[in-house]
Amino acid sequence: MDEHVHPEVRRIAADIDTMEVRGAATIADAVARALRTQAEESDADDPEAFRAELRAAARTLHGTRPTAVSLPNALRYVLRGMSSPTVEGLRQDIVQSADDFCQRLDRAQADLGRVGANRLRDGDVIMTHCHSTDVLACVEAAVEQGKHIEAIVKETRPRNQGHITAEELADMGVPVTLIVDSAARRYLNDVNHVLVGADAVAADGSVINKIGTSGLAVNARDRGAPIMVASQTLKLHPGTLTGHTVDIEMRDTEEIIDEKRREEIGSPKVVNPAFDVTPPRYVDAIVTERGQFPPESIVTLMRELFGEGTEEPWAEP
């Protein structure tokens, strides 16, 4: 690892890797702040050395989790801001673009929340999977409009992010029923909307989100419950416009079963994919800060936002 990468940047990278910091929007916010710290603390004495440090810091952050496209999208946004000819100017450029990025993130989530809230009616019951701050923004906006919302929350094995969702919904005054993941189909008859977030949205409208989302969507369609994806445009995956696929992160199998227990039950192979792909035909609406879109039309928005390309400004020139 490059010795010029600031220890705080390494700490943030480690926290993302171990999921102390998790969820696509939160990861994006953390990496923008990390680049800001790298810039503020840099003692590079010429512009090229400064740029090289920022690229190295970005690569350290980029290597942590492969699926959430908000991470490279955040790095791209902040690094694109570097235009000044001096070290001091470059430092200001990064601080400014990191601050802009974090403000836009907050604003986008609030705007998206108001769009998503329009889909929810007073008295609705929602079902959630994993923990998504974009989803919670929709529920919060609905509650602020005076709507009574109840939630059935899937625990979301193996990491139980549903517990975080349950706690945050309870803080909003939303009555919560917690269920194991495999109970979802049984309760879908009682549900008016399934609400999930996204780690990435592909150009064909496929949604990449926490493992179990696609099975939930198929069951919800079978039961007639609409599936709404709350996803800031930061989660649109520009590489999919040119045929790239989204990497699905495989995590440590110890998240599922410890080595001792695995041996006791005959040492089966264990696999732990963190995300899956929900095809567009199972998604009713993708709610963004720019309004709601049928999944098949998201490509139009992607072309508008990423028309300028998907360069990797963290790569060595």
Nearest residue (CB) to ligand RUB, 56 versus 71: 71
Nearest residue (CB) to ligand RUB, 60 versus 133: 133
Nearest distance in Å: CB 176, ligand RUB:
17
Nearest distance in Å: CB 193, ligand RUB:
15
Choose, by CB under 6 A, the member of 133, 206, 214, 240 that binds ligand RUB: 133
- 79 neighbors 58 (Cβ within 8 angstroms): yes
Q: What is the dihedral of CA 155, 178, 207, 122, to 10 degrees?
A: -160
Q: Binding to ligand RUB by residue 134, rule CB under 6 A?
A: yes
Nearest distance in Å: CB 50, ligand RUB:
30
**Positions marked active-site:** 130, 199
Residue 251 burial class via C-beta count within 10 angstroms: exposed 0-12, middle 13-18, buried 19 and up: middle
Q: Binding to ligand RUB by residue 130, rule CB under 6 A?
A: yes
- 275 neighbors 249 (Cβ within 8 angstroms): yes
The pairing of strands 275-278 and 125-128 is unpaired
Q: Binding to ligand RUB by residue 161, rule CB under 6 A?
A: yes
Q: Binding to ligand RUB by residue 210, rule CB under 6 A?
A: yes
Nearest residue (CB) to ligand RUB, 94 versus 201: 201
Nearest residue (CB) to ligand RUB, 95 versus 143: 143
Residue labelled with tokens 């059935």: 152
Residue 248 burial class via C-beta count within 10 angstroms: exposed 0-12, middle 13-18, buried 19 and up: middle
Q: Binding to ligand RUB by residue 132, rule CB under 6 A?
A: yes
Closest residue by Cα to residue 39 from 69, 78, 85 = 78
Nearest distance in Å: CB 306, ligand RUB:
18
Stretch near ligand RUB under the rule CB under 6 A, chosen from 5-13, 18-26, 39-47, 97-105: 18-26
Residues 6+ apart with CB under 8 A from 20: none
Choose, by CB under 6 A, the member of 38, 206, 209, 233 that binds ligand RUB: 209
For helices 47-62 and 70-80, what crossing angle results, to 10°? Answer: 170
Q: Binding to ligand RUB by residue 288, rule CB under 6 A?
A: no
Choose, by CB under 6 A, the member of 6, 13, 23, 293 that binds ligand RUB: 23
Question: How many residues lie near ligand RUB (CB under 6 A)?
Answer: 17
Nearest residue (CB) to ligand RUB, 161 versus 288: 161
Binding site for ligand RUB (CB under 6 A): 22-26, 68, 130, 132-134, 161, 197-199, 209-210, 274
